[in-house]
Amino acid sequence: MTMYGLYQPYKVNRKLTRTEKNYRLRQGTPCKVKSLNCGESVIRMNSTYLETVDKFYKEAGTNTWWAAMIFFGCLAVFLFITFRFFSDLLPGMGVIKAFLGCMIPLSFMIFGGCFLLKEWFAWTHYPIRFNRRNQAVYIFRTDGTVLSVPWKEIYFTQDKEPGPLREWCIRGHILNKDGETVLETFSLGVCENKESLPEYWEFIRCYMEEDLVAELAELVVICPPIENRKEGYLFGLQNLIYMDSRFGWIYFPFKLPLQLEASVCRYIASQTSKIPRWPQDVLDACRPDADDPVNVSAANNPKDMWRLVFANQSLTNWQEKYERMATATNRIHAALAKNMEINLL
């Protein structure tokens, strides 16, 4: 459950921790990874900018379905007790008992409602835009404002999410002039195990620093259809179900009821929330060339989405996708190796 940064604010005005120093990800320094991974986070990609989702988008709905159960369940209890009391059907209950009987579910309603409002009646997502042309990063904050910061001035690091799950994410810190004090924090769009995070970081770093945009575009399979619009119910459900392999079929019957509940909460969150809009100065700075050969978006999504979601593409389509991505990955590794040799000379 990725809650840090939305349900629980980041800790700021503090010194960097030992973990943040040990797991720092440096701009200008390639990571040794076998493959690069966009994490299904790319909204749009061209030769000028790369826009990605926030880390909360992938699991949107799963963090609030239980809060919805608490809220509406306690609302029903609250209304029942209130109706019975004021209709004099419980004359022997007493004012104090009736008051306590109402306050307990009301307290849980407030608790559940506070969590619901973090996704419902908020923003559909919190995009991050990487501009390779002017080497700037634009972050759409949870309060609706936009942070603009030079790429090189961000302190990127891997850090574990609070809680019992083994989820890690890549955080970007804005530091004070002393280089130690954290003034502001945001997270990149993927939250998973620590071992796979460098693959996502290398995707972002290569986009910003290497001349490999066309190759990186070949690694993008699915783009969330949320650019200047709200997510539909079917794609939200597909996003929650999405399987990396057919092994996911084993757990599917057990996970489906929860996924269906979460998909309803996800849809309500999408329909009640506002679409994030970039300020005009950001749009002007990110205006792509009219003849840009790279233009990746949801318009390029596969036609057989359900087969892809269930890891059940035809052998021909799977081989075509695998070969395309493998070829692009090999070209990326070759270019990085060549650059490293040049730098050593």
In this predicted structure, what is the pLDDT of residue 310? 93
d(CA 307, CA 177): 51
Q: Which segment of 88-102, 303-317, 324-338 scores lowest on mean pLDDT?
A: 88-102
Q: Are 172 and 156 in contact (CB under 8 A)?
A: yes
pTM for this structure?
0.91
Domain boundaries, position 132: 14-59+127-287+294-344
- 246 shares a domain with 226: yes
Task: Give the total number of structural domains in the chain.
Answer: 2
In this predicted structure, what is the pLDDT of residue 224? 96
Is the pLDDT assigned to residue 278 strictly greater than 70?
A: yes
**Mean pLDDT (whole number) for 60-75:** 85
Q: Is residue 240 part of a domain?
A: yes
- 107 shares a domain with 19: no
d(CA 283, CA 171): 24
Is the pLDDT assigned to residue 101 strictly greater than 90?
A: no
Domain termination residue (choose one: 95, 119, 143): 119
- 89 shares a domain with 193: no
Q: For residue 308, how far is the Cα from the chain centroid? A: 20
Query: How much is the CA Rg of the chain, to the nearest whole Å?
Result: 23
SS (H, E, C) the chain: CCCECCCECCCCCEECCHHHHHCEECCCCCCCCCCCCCCCCEEEEECCEEEECCCCCCCCCCCCHHHHHHHHHHHHHHHHHHHHHHCCCCCCCCHHHHHHHHHHHHHHHHHHHHHHHHHCCCECCCCEEEECCCCEEEEECCCCCEEEEEHHHEEEEEEECCCCCCCEEEEEEEECCCCCEEEEEEEEEEEECCCCHHHHHHHHHHHHHCCCHHHHHCCCCCCCCCCCCCCCHHHHHHHHHCCCCCCHHHHHHHHHHHHHHHHHHHHHHHHHCECCCCCHHHHHHCCCCCCCCCEECHHHCCCCHHHHHCCCCCHHHHHHHHHHHHHHHHHHHHHHHHHHHHHHC
Q: Per residue in 248-265, pLDDT tens?
A: 899 899 999 989 999 999
- 215 shares a domain with 104: no
Of the pLDDT bands very low, low, confident and very high (cuts 50, 70, 90), residue 215 is very high
Domain termination residue (choose one: 101, 119, 137): 119
Of 105 and 6, the one with more pLDDT: 6
Q: Is residue 304 part of a domain?
A: yes
Q: Is residue 1 part of a domain?
A: no
In this predicted structure, what is the pLDDT of residue 345? 61
- 133 shares a domain with 115: no
In this predicted structure, what is the pLDDT of residue 96? 63
Q: Is residue 9 part of a domain?
A: no
Give φ, ψ of 234 to 5 degrees. -65, -45
Tell me the pLDDT of the chain averaged across its residues: 90
Four-residue CA torsion sign, 33, 36, 39, 44: positive
- 179 shares a domain with 155: yes
Of the pLDDT bands very low, low, confident and very high (cuts 50, 70, 90), residue 95 is low
Q: Is residue 142 part of a domain?
A: yes
Q: Is residue 337 part of a domain?
A: yes
Of 249 and 1, the one with more pLDDT: 249
Q: Is residue 7 part of a domain?
A: no
- 188 shares a domain with 222: yes
- 185 shares a domain with 319: yes
In this predicted structure, what is the pLDDT of residue 174? 98
Q: Which segment of 17-26, 80-89, 141-150, 155-164 scores lowest on mean pLDDT?
A: 80-89
Percentage of residues in the chain having pLDDT higher than 90: 68
Domain termination residue (choose one: 99, 119, 139): 119
**Mean pLDDT (whole number) for 253-282:** 94
- 304 shares a domain with 266: yes
Is 244 exposed, middle or buried (CB count within 10 Å of its CB: 0-12, 13-18, 19+)?
exposed
Q: Per residue in 124-140, pLDDT tens?
A: 999 999 999 999 999 99
Q: Which segment of 26-40, 95-109, 174-188, 290-304 scores lowest on mean pLDDT?
A: 95-109
- 154 shares a domain with 229: yes
Of 329, 174, 326, 310, the closest CA to residue 255 belongs to 310
- 311 sits in the region (left: phi over 0; alpha: psi -120 to 50; else beta) called left
Q: Are 24 and 16 in contact (CB under 8 A)?
A: no
Q: Is residue 249 part of a domain?
A: yes
Q: Are 168 and 188 in contact (CB under 8 A)?
A: no
- 98 shares a domain with 161: no
- 211 shares a domain with 145: yes
Helices 95-119 and 65-86: crossing angle, nearest 10°?
150
